[in-house]
Amino acid sequence: MSNEEGKRRAARAAMRYVENGMVVGVGTGSTVRHFIDALAERRHDIEGTVSSSEQSTRLLKEHGIPVLDLNATGPLPLYVDGADECDPNGCLIKGGGAALTREKIIAAASKRFVCIIDPGKKVDVLGRFPLPIEVIPMARSHVARALVELGGQPVWRDGVTTDNGNWILDVHNLHITDPVSLERELNQITGIVTVGLFARRRADIVLTGETA
Ligand code: 5RP
């Protein structure tokens, strides 16, 4: 099975968690694109969506799916999103598409987080995929120095500005054996907006193409 087929199958499998009348949180990326295609077939059954990026908002609107404001909806029953890596406990690295901040907000506001990935994203230990971190632009060098002290090798994703007007550092060389405590530690560094480690609020359900 190709990676693309794995993504498509995982995305289709997530539809079983979508119930009539729901407001669905929608992530970002190529796997989520398949989910949006599937959701479009049920657009008249759901109340609407909350989107995690300008990219997903555009796709949702193109499909005629309503996009709502999280401040107006309140807590969501379901969030569906992809990931860059997933460990056996459902802890994730996310942010390859630079949408990590809004993704983390929606994940936090959702009762159930269903993660859709192709099987190649499963790892025993997180860190092979460089950890994305969103930073306030003026703090880029300050944060990078702090990350080096922690043993990481930050690389500025030059030319990328997030939907929130911030920048991304991709941190190489991390072997993340305790994702919860690393997430907590990184959250203490001034200038970091969001760490792409989704450990404290991790996935509740992980669907791969295999399980579909
Ligand atoms: C975007 C993300 C994506 O979920 C992650 O990058 C996976 O993307 P794809 O489904 O294209 O492989 O975190 O910020």
pLDDT of 61-113, one tens digit each? 999 999 999 999 999 999 999 999 999 999 999 999 999 999 999 999 999 99
pTM for the full predicted model: 0.97
Angle at 17 between CA 13 and CA 18, to 5 degrees: 105
Q: How would you list the strands of the sheet with 23-26, edge to edge?
A: 48-51, 23-26, 76-81, 110-117, 205-208
Cα(15)–Cα(126) distance, rounded to whole angstroms? 27
**pLDDT tens readout for residues 31-45:** 999 999 999 999 999
Average model confidence (pLDDT) for the chain?
97
Residues of the chain with CATH 3.40.50.1360: 3-123+201-208
Q: Does residue 10 carry a pLDDT above 80?
A: yes
Give pLDDT, residue 209: 84
For the chain, give the percent of residues with pLDDT over 70. Answer: 99
Probe residue for ligand 1, chosen from 9, 80, 84, 93 as the CB with the greatest number of ligand atoms within 8 Å: 84
User: In this structure, which CATH number among 3.40.50.720, 3.30.70.260, 3.40.50.620, 3.30.1330.200 belongs to the domain 131-195?
Assistant: 3.30.70.260
Q: Enumerate residues lining ligand 1, CB below 6 A.
A: 27-31, 81-84, 94-100, 103
Given a cut of 60, is residue 15 above it in pLDDT? yes
Range(s) within the chain of domains with CATH label 3.30.70.260: 131-195
Residues labelled as active-site residues: 103
CATH topology of domain 3-123+201-208: Rossmann fold (3.40.50)
* Cα within 13 Å of Cα(69), Cβ side: 2
Tokens standing for residue 212: 């579909």
Distance 97 CA to ligand 1 centre (A): 5
Tell me the average pLDDT across 135-152.
Answer: 98
Q: Which atom of ligand 1 is nearest to the CA of 31?
A: 10
175-179: average pLDDT: 96
* Distance from Cα 45 to the centre of ligand 1, integer Å: 26
What is the predicted pLDDT for the residue at 210? Answer: 84
Q: What are the b/e assignments for 97-133, b being 16+ CB within 10 Å?
A: bbbbbbbbebbebbeebbbbbbbebebeebbebbbbb
pLDDT at 1: 82
Q: What is the structure's pLDDT at 212? A: 46
pLDDT average, residue stretch 128-152: 98
The residue whose two tokens read 């056996």 is 88
| E strand residue ranges, 32-107 | 48-51, 76-81, 85-86, 92-93
Please determine, for residue 211, whether its predicted confidence score (pLDDT) is greater than 80: no
